[in-house]
């Protein structure tokens, strides 16, 4: 490592990117590559929600012990000493919601724009002040240290959606009926896949972070290298970063996030490292997960490698489905080449890690000690269904005779095809025109699945301003019904306990 | 070429599209239609050489017609070329040229799906 740093200082260092390395190793062999290459640069640029910023504002006069604080109406955590704040990237603003959040404050600061600080203090003898407002730029803070608890996933599952409705997720817009695949990650440019055994990646390793030099300070949260999901915790000085490599984003109906440019230089110390840095897109495999299942354990649709993802289409159940990324390969390449340039200019020295990342980690499910209700626990299972050929008279008789104002309409095979409400029937009778329910039923029906949390069903009822959801199994057969009455009963019961 | 048809309340119940097809015998493809009780917004695709004739036929029926020349604007300062817009577009407006996302604006039918799907908020519809 010291020999490589010597060559960085005297300008003779030989640097290639992780995309160039596989062909070099094919041509020269691993022994030749060790002789010809000193450093392989990696890079990634994608949404890294688990990012945040420690800010020290300096002491006001009279002094304040900040208990709560807002930067451009985005709340930052104030429970760290008197004037240290922690701003999280995904925190939405109180006035502009998801369109502006913690990540946007960071981008504004990096871009040289002013931010409004509003703070409330816990009044004490040593900190008499109770509130404060001021306008600050990045240079006005004593420190602005980015500390990201979980960045640069070794790999990340791709997403699709088997349900009948569009989902808006942190994996982007997912069209119904597996209409698209959305993925993240930089393939062969990704840092950890180039050093999966942590020969350089470790505590204290110098990296490229947001356009500046930063450090790996340990393994990230949810670090799980034994399953191929290693993560990094990283730190860097926001004052040296640039908006080219640090960008705020908003995922529709999910919230703000931060795109972080992160690159790790990997010294080619031996043939083992040369071989590992020769990893190709096709060697990096991930799963496509069905986000249509609103639970922690989502089913895997298929396995796929990054060469297939980058081709723009993957096959799911015999159908070509378009695939596109959320992370930017364009900027990931810029990260790897900017890192290479600063090494060649002698500005970026490698630092030997003081210890490697742990080879084993933990990402266990949450221990849940309170009751957690699913739709299947609450729904009514005795639901009458109708075929679309029946008359209005028959439909109204079924509604009157049953417990619901809603009548699910099913096909010959028992699949849900529509819904008729008491209102539809009255309307049809009033107009006197319609004779069969097929002419008046709603065909676009919002549904619930038995395994989804009751909270999600409640959200759908509220969001779509409806009062009932038919519950269907994976074959689209009606197995129950949840209504706003179920919700009132739930809360009524809870209130009386 | 794509035409945006704004159909006013008074005429929205008339069979305007079919009467224009019968009159002009042009091949007209309805790309997107949003019609409610009082008005309608329809995007049609017409073969370029018949475009002005079809436009005139719609206008003769009281429809306001806008040629969608540049229906979508991509802010290249904001775009990070992730590609989130590519797989969700129903008409294939966006594609990669190398590692950069480029728009073939002529394909856009202004459905707006990409506007909310873009994490960088770099896309904007030009509404006329």
Please report the pLDDT score of residue A494 as a whole number.
58
**pLDDT at position B128 over 70:** no
Residues A156-159: contacts with CB within 8 Å, 24+ apart? A156/A183, A156/A184, A156/A185, A156/A286, A157/A286, A157/A287, A157/A288, A157/A289, A157/A300, A158/A182, A158/A183, A158/A184, A158/A286, A158/A287, A158/A288, A158/A289, A158/A304, A158/A309, A158/A323, A159/A183, A159/A288, A159/A289, A159/A291
Asked if A126 is an active-site residue, the reply is: yes
Residues A232-244, mean pLDDT to the nearest whole number: 98
Residues A39-57, mean pLDDT to the nearest whole number: 98
Residues A261-290, mean pLDDT to the nearest whole number: 97
C-alpha A421, offset from chain centre: 38
Query: Which positions in chain B have a beta carbon within 8 angstroms of at least one beta carbon in chain A?
Result: 80-88, 96, 99-100, 113, 116-117, 119-121
CA angle A292, A175, A450 (to 5 degrees): 20
What residue ranges of chain A are covered by domains with CATH 3.10.580.10? 375-496
C-alpha A478, offset from chain centre: 32
Q: Is the CATH number 1.10.10.10 carried by domain A375-496?
A: no
Q: CA-CA distances (angstroms) from residue B62 to A361, B7, B18, B28?
A: 68, 8, 15, 18
Q: Which residue of chain B has the CA closest to A44?
A: B82
A175 contacts in B (CB within 8 Å)?
Answer: 87-88
Cα(B3)–Cα(A423) distance, integer angstroms: 38
Partners of A151 in the β-ladder:
A232
Digit-coded pLDDT (tens) for B79-114: 999 999 999 999 999 999 999 999 998 888 888 999
Give me the percent of chain A exceeding a pLDDT of 70: 99
B85 contacts in A (CB within 8 Å)?
Answer: 324
Q: Which of B87, B94, B99, B111 to mutate to test the interface with A (most CBs of A within 10 A)?
A: B87
Q: Which of B74, B76, B77, B83 to mutate to test the interface with A (most CBs of A within 10 A)?
A: B83
A331 contacts in B (CB within 8 Å)?
Answer: 80-81
Burial of A152 (0-12, 13-18, 19+ CB in 10 A): buried
Cα(A42)–Cα(A263) distance, integer angstroms: 5
Q: Which residue of chain B has the CA closest to A167?
A: B117
Q: How far is B1 from chain A (nearest CA, A)?
A: 25
Subunit contact A249:B119, Cβ cutoff 8 A: yes
**pLDDT at position B34 over 60:** yes
Q: Which residue of chain A has the CA closest to B114?
A: A173
- Count the neighbouring beta carbons within 10 Å of the beta carbon of residue A48: 27
Give me the percent of chain B exceeding a pLDDT of 90: 58
Subunit contact A330:B80, Cβ cutoff 8 A: yes
Cα(A78)–Cα(A127) distance, integer angstroms: 14
The shortest CB-CB distance from B116 to any of A252, A257, A325 is to A252
| Element housing A342 (H / E) | helix A329-344
Please report the pLDDT score of residue A493 as a whole number.
66
The shortest CB-CB distance from B81 to any of A249, A250, A328 is to A328
Domains detected in chain B = 2-67 (3.30.70.260), 72-125 (3.30.70.20)
What confidence category does residue A496 fall into, taking pLDDT thresholds of 50, 70 and 90? very low
Subunit contact A312:B96, Cβ cutoff 8 A: yes
ipTM over 0.85: no
CA angle B33, B36, B38 (to 5 degrees): 125
Residues A207-235, mean pLDDT to the nearest whole number: 97
Q: What is the mean pLDDT of chain A?
A: 93
Residues B52-58, mean pLDDT to the nearest whole number: 93
Given A10, A11, A126, A430, which residue is catalytic? A126
Q: What is the DSSP letter of A478?
A: E
Q: Residues with Cβ < 8 Å from A452, sequence gap 6 or more?
A: A293, A294, A295, A374, A375
């Amino acid at each position: 490592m010291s020999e490589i740093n010597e060559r960085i200082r005297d300008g003779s260092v030989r640097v290639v990117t992780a995309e160039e390395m596989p062909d070099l190793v094919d041509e020269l062999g691993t022994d030749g590559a060790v002789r010809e290459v000193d450093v392989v640069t990696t890079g990634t640029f994608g949404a890294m929600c688990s990012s945040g910023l420690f800010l020290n504002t300096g002491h006001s006069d009279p002094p304040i012990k900040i208990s709560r604080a807002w930067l451009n109406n985005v709340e930052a955590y104030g429970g760290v000493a008197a004037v240290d704040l922690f701003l999280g990237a995904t925190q939405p603003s109180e006035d502009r919601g998801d369109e502006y959040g913690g990540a946007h404050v960071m981008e504004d600061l990096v871009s040289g724009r002013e931010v409004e600080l509003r703070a409330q203090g816990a009044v004490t003898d040593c900190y008499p002040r109770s509130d404060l407002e001021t306008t600050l730029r990045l240079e006005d803070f004593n420190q602005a240290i980015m500390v990201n608890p979980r960045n640069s996933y070794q790999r990340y599952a791709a997403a699709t959606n088997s349900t009948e409705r569009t989902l808006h997720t942190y994996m982007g817009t997912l069209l119904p009926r597996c209409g698209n695949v959305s993925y993240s990650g930089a393939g062969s440019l990704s840092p950890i896949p180039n050093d999966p055994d942590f020969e350089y990646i470790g505590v204290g390793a110098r990296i490229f972070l947001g356009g500046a030099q930063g450090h790996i300070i340990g393994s990230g949260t949810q670090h799980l290298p034994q399953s191929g999901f290693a993560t990094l915790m990283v730190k860097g000085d926001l004052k040296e970063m640039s908006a080219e490599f640090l960008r705020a984003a908003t995922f529709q109906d999910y919230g703000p996030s931060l795109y972080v440019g992160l690159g790790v230089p990997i010294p080619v110390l031996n043939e083992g490292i040369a071989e590992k840095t020769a990893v190709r897109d096709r060697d990096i495999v991930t799963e496509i997960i069905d986000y249509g299942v609103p639970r922690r354990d989502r089913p895997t649709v298929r396995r796929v490698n990054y060469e297939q993802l980058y081709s723009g289409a993957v096959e799911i159940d015999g159908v070509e489905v378009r695939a596109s990324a959320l992370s930017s390969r364009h900027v990931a390449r810029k990260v790897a080449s900017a890192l290479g340039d600063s090494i060649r200019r002698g500005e970026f020295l490698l630092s030997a890690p003081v210890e490697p990342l742990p080879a084993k980690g933990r990402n266990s499910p949450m221990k849940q000690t309170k009751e957690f209700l699913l739709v299947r626990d609450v729904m009514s299972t005795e639901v009458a269904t109708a075929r679309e050929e029946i008359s209005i008279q028959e439909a109204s008789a079924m509604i009157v005779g049953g417990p619901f104002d809603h009548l699910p309409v099913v096909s010959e095979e028992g699949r849900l095809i529509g819904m008729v409400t008491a209102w539809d029937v009255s309307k049809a009778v009033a107009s006197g025109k319609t004779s069969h329910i097929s002419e008046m039923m709603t065909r676009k029906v919002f549904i619930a699945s038995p395994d989804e949390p009751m909270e999600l069903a409640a959200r759908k009822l509220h969001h779509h301003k409806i009062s009932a959801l038919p519950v269907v199994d994976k074959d689209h057969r009606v197995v129950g019904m949840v209504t706003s009455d179920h919700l009132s009963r739930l809360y009524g019961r809870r209130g009386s306990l | 070429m794509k035409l945006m048809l704004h159909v006013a309340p008074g005429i929205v119940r008339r069979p305007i599209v079919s009467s224009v097809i019968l009159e002009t015998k042009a091949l007209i493809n309805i790309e997107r239609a949003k019609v409610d009780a009082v008005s309608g917004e329809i995007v049609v695709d017409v073969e370029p050489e018949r475009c002005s004739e079809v436009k005139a036929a719609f206008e003769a029926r009281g429809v306001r017609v806008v040629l969608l020349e540049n229906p979508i604007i991509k802010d290249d300062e904001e775009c990070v070329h992730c590609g989130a817009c590519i797989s969700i577009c129903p008409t294939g407006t966006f594609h990669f040229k190398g590692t950069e996302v480029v728009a073939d604006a002529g394909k856009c039918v202004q459905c707006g799906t990409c506007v909310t799907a873009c994490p960088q908020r770099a896309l904007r519809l030009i509404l006329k």
